[in-house]
């Protein structure tokens, strides 16, 4: 995803819609029309209002409703994301993240 996307993304919760915070863990530069554009590969998106976190995995922001994140393939991918970046993800998200953290069972 492009960094400017953060300017238009808001929390997808209908009762929230807050602006979001981005913490980039992995990115690369792309030359486009003689400009260098940053492509974000892996990042943590957090919502300061409702406290949710959302991952950017392989360039794609995963901003699904809680019930679609709790099990199956999506949960495994998001768990793998938490595991992959656990040295950099804030401890309170790993422990008590909304809708889940690294330690909670699927
Ligand atoms: Zn929110």
Q: What is the pLDDT of residue 60?
A: 97
Neighbours of ion ligand 1 (CB under 5 A): 11, 13, 16, 18, 47, 49-50
Q: How much is the pTM?
A: 0.92
Give pLDDT < 70 ranges for the chain.
104-106
- pLDDT per residue as tens digits for the range 46-65: 999 999 999 999 999 999 99
Q: What is the pLDDT of residue 24?
A: 98
Short-list 30, 49, 45, 50, CA closest to 78: 45
Separation of CA 102 and ligand 1 centre (Å): 20
Token digits of residue 3: 């960094």
Write phi, then psi, for 37 (nearest 5 degrees). Answer: -115, 135
Q: What is the pLDDT of residue 104?
A: 55
Separation of CA 20 and ligand 1 centre (Å): 8
For residues 71 and 79, the answer to whether their CB atoms sit within 8 Å is no
Separation of CA 45 and ligand 1 centre (Å): 10
Residue 56 burial (C-beta neighbours within 10 Å; 0-12, 13-18, 19+) = buried
């Amino acid at each position: 995803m492009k960094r400017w996307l953060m300017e238009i993304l808001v929390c997808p919760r209908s009762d929230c819609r807050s602006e979001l915070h981005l913490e980039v863990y992995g990115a690369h530069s792309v030359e486009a029309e003689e400009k260098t554009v940053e492509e974000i590969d892996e990042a943590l998106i957090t919502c300061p209002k409702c406290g949710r976190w959302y991952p950017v995995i392989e360039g794609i922001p995963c901003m699904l409703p809680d019930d679609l994140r709790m099990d199956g393939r999506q949960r495994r991918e998001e768990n793998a994301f938490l595991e992959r970046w656990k040295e950099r993800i804030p401890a309170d998200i790993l422990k008590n993240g909304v809708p889940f953290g690294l330690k909670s069972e699927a």
